[in-house]
Chain A
Amino acid sequence: MFVFRLDTHSGVPPYLQLVQQVRQAVLLGFLQPGDRLPLIREVVEDLAINPNTVAKAYRQMEQEDLVTGRPGQGTFVNEQQSAVMAASTYTSLRRGLVTWLRRAYDAGLDEQAVNALFTSVHQETRNEGVA
């Protein structure tokens, strides 16, 4: 059964953390079509988290067509059409990132500087509506 985590210091709203974890697990193949997600109550009692937060996360995942809730049975991972990226795209993106990281470390940046740079550029591109 899929297990959620919660990082209280990440600054990411809890419901979004849950959505992101499922999205990521699907992308990486840890969750496969037909897999059942834990019941809302199970997540609540496991994480000591507000039920409305979990319900909100599940609603959002349904809206994104990531999962389908079947009354009385549970919530199941959908067959993904576009969400799963092609393995070649994944590999090439990953390779690009590795190259970039090597250059950054060679240039003398440390982990914190790399994270700061990434976050700042990410924020800028998001503000420009790229991402």
Chain B
Amino acid sequence: MTELALRTEGVGKQYRKSWALRDCTLALPAGGVIALVGPNGAGKTTLLRLAVGLLAPTTGMVEVLGHDVTASTPHTLSRVGFLAQDHPLYKRFTVAEMLRFGRACNLRFDKDLAERRLAKLGIPLDRRTGTLSGGQQAQVALALALAKRPDLLVLDEPVASLDPLARHEFLQTLMGAVAEGDVTVLFSSHVVHELERVCDHLIVLNNGRVTLAGDIDTLLAEHRLLMGPRTSADPAQGSSVVETVHSDRHTTLLVRDGGLPTAPGWQAHPVALEDLVLAYLRRPVEAA
């Protein structure tokens, strides 16, 4: 697993005067599920579009599966699948026509696989896609993207518009596909709970900058929550404090790379992924 699915170096993207993304350097391993988390307007969509070659970076370099994406050939692009926000489909096409369209437009397209997936979900091929429920439309769009048998599948907010049941079913299909083959999945989300069950890698994007990136197990092991009597001093010296919360008599610190607290009355607790992400999202970031 030395291959990288996505590598960026010093990537920035400027729209007119403002920067949507700045100094973005990432190395994402192949074979995992990577979540890109951040508030609306953080630059998630920009980063994803750069990753699949739909946008060219203003500065820096983007490499997908070992190839520079700006010089992307049809062959490289055939290894990358992209599912844009709101699962776009031609609403007047039937599902079968959508599949035929997919096969005509792609070098690699496993129509049988898509048909099997949709049959399993009970989605009829002769229906116009516009008449399907939101969850079913998402499943059709996902089946189309997976039929390319991509090595890297990029999804922009894939579950944001879905109800809880459809969301679960969508993730079931997506995780099932990861279990079946060697696809690396990169998806953006602003929903932070449920991340832990689906991802093994995390990127937090805030205000156009990457504020946290890494393997989730490693990140959780590196961070701890220290709780003790109210103080302004750092009870665990040598660690970097991510967030400090004071109550009347208590202080709670989120620290990284710290040793155990030596001061009396202090306790160290592991931090939950959701709390970790929220703490990084709350941190002020200078504008990109």
Chain A positions within 8 Å of B, measured between CB atoms, are 6, 8-9, 11, 13-14, 40-41, 44-53, 123-124, 127
The answer to whether the Cβ of B119 comes within 8 Å of any Cβ in the partner chain is no
Compute how far the CA of A9 lies from the CA of B195 in the bound complex, rounded to whole angstroms. 11
Q: Which residue of A lies closest to B171 (CB)?
A: A48
Q: Are B200 and A52 in contact (CB under 8 A)?
A: yes
CB of B116, distance to nearest CB on chain A (Å) = 14
Compute how far the CA of A11 lies from the CA of B271 in the bound complex, rounded to whole angstroms. 8
The answer to whether the Cβ of B178 comes within 8 Å of any Cβ in the partner chain is yes
CB of B71, distance to nearest CB on chain A (Å) = 32
Q: Are A52 and B198 in contact (CB under 8 A)?
A: no
Determine the chain A residues whose CB is within 8 A of the CB of B220 once the complex forms.
13
CB of A39, distance to nearest CB on chain B (Å) = 9
Q: Are A6 and B197 in contact (CB under 8 A)?
A: yes
Other than the known A13-B196, A48-B171, what 8 A-B pairs have Cβ atoms closer than 8 Å?
A: A8-B194, A9-B193, A11-B272, A40-B179, A45-B179, A50-B33, A50-B175, A123-B267
Determine the chain B residues whose CB is within 8 A of the CB of A44 once the complex forms.
172, 175-176, 178-179
CB of A118, distance to nearest CB on chain B (Å) = 15
CB of B259, distance to nearest CB on chain A (Å) = 13
| Chain B positions 175 through 203: 1 when the CB is less than 8 Å from some CB of chain A, otherwise 0 | 11011100000000000011011111000
Q: 25 A-B pairs, CB-CB below 8 angstroms?
A: A8-B196, A8-B197, A13-B196, A44-B175, A44-B176, A44-B178, A45-B172, A45-B176, A45-B179, A46-B172, A48-B169, A48-B174, A48-B175, A48-B198, A49-B175, A49-B197, A50-B33, A50-B175, A50-B178, A52-B31, A52-B32, A53-B200, A123-B267, A123-B269, A127-B260
In order of increasing CB-CB distance, the 4 nearest A-B pairs are A48-B171, A51-B179, A48-B172, A44-B179
Most chain B beta-carbon neighbours within 10 Å: one of A50, A51, A52, A124: A50
Q: Which residue of B lies closest to A54 (CB)?
A: B179
Compute how far the CA of A9 lies from the CA of B196 in the bound complex, rounded to whole angstroms. 10
Compute how far the CA of A61 lies from the CA of B50 in the bound complex, rounded to whole angstroms. 41
Determine the chain A residues whose CB is within 8 A of the CB of B31 once the complex forms.
52
Q: Which residue of A lies closest to B168 (CB)?
A: A48
Cβ contact of B197, chosen from A48, A123, A124, A127, cutoff 8 A: A48
Q: Are B197 and A14 in contact (CB under 8 A)?
A: yes
The answer to whether the Cβ of B9 comes within 8 Å of any Cβ in the partner chain is no
Compute how far the CA of A8 lies from the CA of B179 in the bound complex, rounded to whole angstroms. 21
Compute how far the CA of A45 lies from the CA of B196 in the bound complex, rounded to whole angstroms. 16
| Chain B positions 44 through 56: 1 when the CB is less than 8 Å from some CB of chain A, otherwise 0 | 0000000000000
Q: Which residue of B lies closest to A47 (CB)?
A: B197
The answer to whether the Cβ of B217 comes within 8 Å of any Cβ in the partner chain is yes
The answer to whether the Cβ of B270 comes within 8 Å of any Cβ in the partner chain is yes
CB of A125, distance to nearest CB on chain B (Å) = 13
Compute how far the CA of A14 lies from the CA of B273 in the bound complex, rounded to whole angstroms. 11
Q: Are B172 and A50 in contact (CB under 8 A)?
A: no
Determine the chain A residues whose CB is within 8 A of the CB of B175 once the complex forms.
44-45, 48-51
Compute how far the CA of A46 lies from the CA of B172 in the bound complex, rounded to whole angstroms. 7
Q: Are B193 and A8 in contact (CB under 8 A)?
A: yes
Q: Are B180 and A41 in contact (CB under 8 A)?
A: yes
**Given A8-B193, A48-B171, A50-B178, also A13-B200 (CB < 8 A):** no
Q: Which residue of B lies closest to A43 (CB)?
A: B179
Compute how far the CA of A37 lies from the CA of B260 in the bound complex, rounded to whole angstroms. 38
CB of B266, distance to nearest CB on chain A (Å) = 11
Determine the chain B residues whose CB is within 8 A of the CB of A47 once the complex forms.
197
